[in-house]
Structure formats: structure tokens, C-alpha cells
């Protein structure tokens, strides 16, 4: 029960089940100082854990030096970070040869990509194909790209020019990509909010080939998957594909709001001064947090850590009762349950001191800090195992109705529309 007076907040989020007041590494504390293992990281944001000292010091130092300067003037921090990101997109050692626009969120990074595609393709060719189930943001254009009709419905009409096809379906993409109309394809390398859906290994390769043949941009939304989370710096790097545009946000500032849209130089050149901008995008305070985050990420080798820790978490989850499969890469994982008890299970996990969420009624998602320890992984698996054993006993095998015979609160709790639904809710942004 929250003790905070929320009466002056818009009701765009469901009532939170707990209010956190501080965090340290992979542990969050509520107002009674009760610790919770954070296996969600603010939805893949605090990849270095909470209150990382290097990031905290960088923010404090920059705040005392120069907290903001307009993009009318130069600032050295943003330029340095852009070079680092270009190198990480190139795999870590050599620069990819692209350029970056800084924004403040994932939606804004994608908004930049969508505008850039229109500018690059020229008048009349402004279509974008994305996939059903995808999540690209909440602004009107990124909502139009988001492949979820229930999120779009209350806000119709949305901007024109957005088509959707099933994910991981190259034939459908092939049919949708009319080069006289379509400027870009926008895809997540793994669909996060859809429940950590991993496509076939030839999907991105096929998309690259299709886009190259038809002179259509391949734009990869790495807002959730980027910056080490999947065991590589970026999700597309698992498949050796070179996209034209890459967007990122979440983990970029380890909690300091920041987003970025990278494009290869020839595409980036479509923007001329005055085409796009942001008061805060790329400003020194945010950029110093990003610079420190990237320093620590490189020093700690977080992609490799995510790969190793992800294998441990996956192995632990696979053994739990009621788990039929585990999908994902690195430390972006989902446990697919035998039945629709993910929402109440996530709520019980929270009560048991473990923060996770349920992006789908039968899916639990895990996105811990990339610096999470083995002991913390084992503890999280232990907490969840005790909870899932009870749910699996009540719900029975896949497809059967909940037994609900022991008075246990196992009846499916609906995921509130448009709300975070506490720890159990579905929505990412
Ligand atoms: N793209 C993806 C893949 C996301 O997961 C999200 C948020 O969850 C967004 C875009 C939107 O990011 P933001 O909420 O920062 O606008």
C-alpha cells in the first residue's frame, strides 16, 4: 500500500503496489527499508544497478560544472559519447562510420528515425513497415509504428503511412515492402514488451537482404535490447547484420533519461540544420551520465557478463515448476508458464521480495542488472520457485482452467488497460 499522496497525478498508470525510496546495486528498498531483489531494472534501464558510484559521481561533478547548454552551442561531452556509440555499433573496436542524434527517451529516438526515413526517401515515399506485437513508443508516430491495436484505438486517427506484418515472417514483409511507397522497415531484434519474442536466426539477415534489394532502410529498435543486455553490445550483432539506423535509450544513462538515434553517414546526411532538434537532447548532464555508464560497461565487459549470467538464470528458471520454456538472450529472458498465472505470480514475487513483471498472462520477464551476482540470481530463482510450485499445483497443466480450490488467490488477475499494473502489469513505456 502506497503512503504517497498521488491525487495530483494523472491516472495513466495503475495504482503502484509499492513505492521504492532508494536502491543499491541489484537491491531496491521501500519506505520501511525492506529490501527487494530488482530483476526488472526499471524495465531494462539500470543495467549497472542502482546508485552506481561512477555514474553518480559523474552526474554530481557535471551538475557542479555545467548542467545545461542549448544545442545552439557546442558541448564536448555529447560529441565524445557519439564517437563511443559509433564504435560500439561497429562491434567495440572500430567505428561503424555513422552519426548520432541525441534525444531523451526511446520514443523520441524512434521519432527521430521515422523523420529521418522520410527525409532520406524524399517526398511521396514515407511508408514504414513494422510488426504486430512490437512496441516502439507512445508519441503519435511511434504509437502508429507500435503493432498493438488496443493501444492505438483510443487515439485514432494516427499519422498515415504505417503498415504492420506478423513478426518473423519474411514472406509477409516481402509482400508489404513496395519500394515506391515504403521508406523503411522498423523492427526490434527481440520483441521485449511482446514477451521477449526471439525471431528465427535468418530473420534479420533476410530483412537486410530485402531492404538492400529495394533501397529501403533497415531500422533496428534497440531501445530495450541495446547496450549489452542480450550478450552483445546490440541485438543485431548476434546475426552479423548491418542496419542503416539503430535506436537506443533505456540503459544508455543507467537511469538518467537519454535516447539516441544512430544512422550510417549517408542516411544521417539527409538531415540538415533545422530539420530536427530537442532542448534537452545531448545536454551535458545527461551526456556525462551516459559517458560514465559506457565507461563502466566497457571496463566491466557487460555483454560477456550478461551472456554468462544469463546462462545461469536461464538454467535456474528452466528447472522451476510450471515453466514450460525460457526464451531470450543474455539477461533479457522470459519464462513461459504452463498457464495464465504470470500476473498473480509476479505480484506474489513482489510480496516475496523479488521485482519482475508479466508482459503477457503466461509470461514472466527478467531483466536484472548486467552486474547481478551469481548469489543474487540463485536467490531470485529460489524465491520464484517456491511461488511457482504453488501456482503450478493450483493451475495444473497448460490449457486447463485454474483449480482455485484451496482459497489461494490463483484466479487470473486481469492486466489493467494502459497501466503498469504494478509489478504484474504489461506495459513498458
Ligand atoms: N522501443 C522499445 C523496444 C521499447 O521497449 C520501448 C519502451 O519500453 C520504447 C521503444 C519506448 O521507450 P520510452 O518509454 O523511453 O519512450
If you average pLDDT over residues 212-232, what whole number do you get?
Answer: 98
Query: Cell numbers at residue 341, please?
Result: 498465472
Ligand 1 atom nearest the C-alpha of 429 is 14
Query: Cell numbers at residue 422, please?
Result: 504494478
From the centroid of its chain, how far is CA 14?
20
Specify if 423 maps to a domain.
Answer: no
Ligand 1 atom nearest the C-alpha of 427 is 8
State residue 400's pLDDT score: 56
Ligand 1 atom nearest the C-alpha of 139 is 16
**At residue 134, does pLDDT exceed 70?**
yes
Question: What tens digit of pLDDT does each residue of 157-195 get?
Answer: 999 999 999 999 999 999 999 999 999 999 999 999 999
Specify if 244 maps to a domain.
Answer: yes
From atom 5 of ligand 1, which residue's Cα is the shortest distance away? 224
Pick the catalytic residue: 163, 168, 250, 271? 250
One domain for residues 240 and 316: no
Domain residues for 361? 20-46+302-395
- β-bridge partners, 285: none
Q: What is the chain's Cα-based Rg?
A: 21
If you average pLDDT over residues 27-50, what whole number do you get?
Answer: 98
**At residue 46, does pLDDT exceed 70?**
yes
Question: What tens digit of pLDDT does each residue of 281-325 get?
Answer: 999 999 999 999 999 999 999 999 999 999 999 999 999 999 999
One domain for residues 180 and 70: yes
From atom 10 of ligand 1, which residue's Cα is the shortest distance away? 136
Specify if 422 maps to a domain.
Answer: no
Please tell me if the CB atom of residue 133 comes closer than 6 angstroms to any atom of ligand 1: no
250 is catalytic: yes
One domain for residues 26 and 143: no
Please tell me if the CB atom of residue 367 comes closer than 6 angstroms to any atom of ligand 1: no
One domain for residues 243 and 323: no
Specify if 176 maps to a domain.
Answer: yes
Q: Which residue shows C-alpha cell 515515399?
A: 125
The alpha carbon of 223 and the centre of ligand 1 are apart by a number of angstroms equal to: 6
Specify if 40 maps to a domain.
Answer: yes
Please tell me if the CB atom of residue 107 comes closer than 6 angstroms to any atom of ligand 1: yes
One domain for residues 243 and 258: yes
The alpha carbon of 224 and the centre of ligand 1 are apart by a number of angstroms equal to: 7
Interaxial angle between packed helices 53-65 and 284-300, expressed in degrees from 0 to 180 and rounded to the nearest 10: 150
State residue 282's pLDDT score: 97
Averaged confidence pLDDT in the chain: 92
167 burial type by CB count under 10 A (0-12 exposed, 13-18 middle, 19+ buried): buried
One domain for residues 259 and 316: no
From atom 1 of ligand 1, which residue's Cα is the shortest distance away? 136
Question: Which of 312, 284, 293 lies closest to 380, judged by CA?
Answer: 312
Q: Which of 300, 330, 351 is the last residue of a domain?
A: 300
Q: Give the separation between CA 26 and CA 299, rounded to whole angstroms.
A: 19
Specify if 107 maps to a domain.
Answer: yes
Specify if 404 maps to a domain.
Answer: no
**At residue 418, does pLDDT exceed 50?**
no
Pick the catalytic residue: 39, 135, 162, 366? 135
State residue 36's pLDDT score: 98
pLDDT tier at 132 (50, 70, 90 boundaries)? Answer: very high
Question: What tens digit of pLDDT does each residue of 103-126 get?
Answer: 999 999 999 999 999 999 999 999
Question: Which of 231, 230, 233, 226 lies closest to 248, judged by CA?
Answer: 226
Q: What is the SS3 assignment for 261?
A: strand
151 is catalytic: no
**At residue 3, does pLDDT exceed 70?**
no
Please tell me if the CB atom of residue 340 comes closer than 6 angstroms to any atom of ligand 1: no
- β-bridge partners, 357: 365
Q: Which of 300, 323, 352 is the last residue of a domain?
A: 300
One domain for residues 288 and 378: no
One domain for residues 262 and 383: no
One domain for residues 222 and 103: yes
Ligand 1 atom nearest the C-alpha of 259 is 15
Q: What is the CATH number of the domain that holds 203?
A: 3.40.640.10
Please tell me if the CB atom of residue 221 comes closer than 6 angstroms to any atom of ligand 1: yes
Q: Give the separation between CA 280 and CA 9, rounded to whole angstroms.
A: 23
Neighbours of 176 (CB within 10 A): 18
State residue 393's pLDDT score: 87
156 burial type by CB count under 10 A (0-12 exposed, 13-18 middle, 19+ buried): exposed
Q: What is the DSSP letter of 25?
A: B
Neighbours of 175 (CB within 10 A): 11
Please tell me if the CB atom of residue 136 comes closer than 6 angstroms to any atom of ligand 1: yes
What's the pTM?
0.93
Q: Which residue shows C-alpha cell 523520441?
A: 108
One domain for residues 90 and 30: no
Please tell me if the CB atom of residue 188 comes closer than 6 angstroms to any atom of ligand 1: yes
**At residue 75, does pLDDT exceed 50?**
yes
Cβ burial 387-416 (10 Å sphere, 16+ → b, else e):
bbebbbebbeeeeeebeeeeebebebbebb
State residue 392's pLDDT score: 86
Specify if 382 maps to a domain.
Answer: yes
**At residue 415, does pLDDT exceed 50?**
no
The alpha carbon of 330 and the centre of ligand 1 are apart by a number of angstroms equal to: 19
The contacts of residue 426 (CB under 8 Å, 6+ apart) are 193, 357, 358, 359, 360, 415
Q: Are 294 and 84 in contact (CB under 8 A)?
A: yes
If you average pLDDT over residues 203-221, what whole number do you get?
Answer: 98
The contacts of residue 151 (CB under 8 Å, 6+ apart) are 143, 418
Q: Which residue shows C-alpha cell 494523472?
A: 10
Please tell me if the CB atom of residue 146 comes closer than 6 angstroms to any atom of ligand 1: no
One domain for residues 200 and 322: no
Query: For the chain, what is the domain count?
Result: 2
Q: What is the CATH number of the domain that holds 26?
A: 3.90.1150.10
**At residue 407, does pLDDT exceed 50?**
no
One domain for residues 317 and 256: no
406 is catalytic: no
Q: Give the separation between CA 75 and CA 320, rounded to whole angstroms.
A: 51
Q: Give the separation between CA 298 and CA 29, rounded to whole angstroms.
A: 28
pLDDT tier at 398 (50, 70, 90 boundaries)? Answer: low
State residue 240's pLDDT score: 86
Q: Which of 234, 268, 300 is the last residue of a domain?
A: 300
Please tell me if the CB atom of residue 244 comes closer than 6 angstroms to any atom of ligand 1: no
Amino acid at each position: 500500500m502506497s503512503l504517497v499522496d498521488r491525487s495530483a497525478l494523472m491516472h495513466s498508470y495503475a495504482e503502484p503496489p509499492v513505492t521504492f525510496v532508494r536502491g543499491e546495486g541489484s537491491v531496491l528498498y521501500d519506505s520501511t527499508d525492506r529490501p527487494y531483489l530488482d530483476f526488472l531494472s526499471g524495465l531494462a534501464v539500470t543495467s549497472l544497478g542502482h546508485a552506481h558510484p561512477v555514474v553518480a559521481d559523474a552526474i554530481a561533478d557535471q551538475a557542479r560544472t555545467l548542467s545545461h547548454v542549448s544545442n545552439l552551442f557546442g558541448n564536448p561531452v555529447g560529441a565524445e559519447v557519439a564517437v563511443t556509440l559509433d564504435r560500439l555499433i561497429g562491434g567495440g573496436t572500430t567505428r561503424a562510420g555513422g552519426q548520432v542524434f541525441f534525444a531523451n527517451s526511446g520514443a523520441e529516438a524512434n521519432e527521430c528515425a521515422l523523420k529521418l526515413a522520410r527525409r532520406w526517401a524524399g517526398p511521396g515515399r514515407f511508408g514504414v513497415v513494422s510488426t504486430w506485437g512490437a512496441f516502439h513508443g507512445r508519441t503519435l508516430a511511434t504509437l502508429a509504428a507500435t503493432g498493438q491495436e488496443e493501444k492505438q484505438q483510443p487515439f485514432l486517427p494516427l499519422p498515415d503511412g504505417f503498415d504492420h506484418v506478423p513478426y518473423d515472417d519474411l514472406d509477409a514483409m516481402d509482400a508489404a515492402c513496395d519500394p515506391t511507397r515504403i521508406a523503411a522497415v522498423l523492427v526490434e531484434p527481440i520483441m521485449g514488451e511482446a514477451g521477449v519474442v526471439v525471431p528465427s536466426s535468418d530473420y534479420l539477415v533476410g530483412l537486410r537482404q530485402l531492404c538492400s534489394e529495394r533501397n529501403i532502410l533497415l531500422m533496428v529498435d534497440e531501445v530495450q535490447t541495446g547496450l549489452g543486455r542480450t550478450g552483445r553490445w546490440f541485438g543485431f550483432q548476434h546475426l552479423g547484420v548491418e542496419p542503416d539506423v539503430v535506436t537506443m535509450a533505456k540503459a544508455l544513462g543507467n537511469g538518467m533519461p537519454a535516447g539516441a538515434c544512430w544512422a550510417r553517414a549517408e542516411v544521417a546526411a539527409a538531415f540538415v540544420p533545422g530539420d530536427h532538434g530537442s532542448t534537452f537532447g545531448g545536454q551535458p548532464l545527461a551526456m556525462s551520465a551516459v559517458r560514465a555508464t559506457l565507461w563502466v560497461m566497457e571496463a566491466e565487459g557487460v555483454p560477456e557478463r550478461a551472456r554468462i549470467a544469463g546462462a545461469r538464470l536461464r538454467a535456474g528458471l528452466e528447472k522451476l515448476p510450471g515453466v514450460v520454456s525460457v526464451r531470450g538472450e543474455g539477461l533479457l529472458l522470459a519464462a513461459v508458464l504452463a498457464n495464465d498465472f504470470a500476473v498473480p505470480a509476479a505480484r506474489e514475487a513482489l510480496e516475496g521480495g523479488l521485482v519482475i513483471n508479466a508482459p503477457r498472462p503466461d509470461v514472466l520477464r527478467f531483466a536484472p542488472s548486467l552486474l547481478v551476482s551469481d548469489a543474487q540470481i540463485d536467490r531470485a530463482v529460489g524465491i520464484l520457485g517456491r511461488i511457482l510450485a504453488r501456482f503450478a499445483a493450483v493451475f495444473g497443466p497448460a490449457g486447463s482452467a485454474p483449480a482455485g480450490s484451496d482459497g489461494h488467490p490463483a484466479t487470473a488477475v486481469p492486466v489493467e488497460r494502459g497501466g503498469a499494473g504494478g509489478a504484474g502489469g504489461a506495459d513498458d513505456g
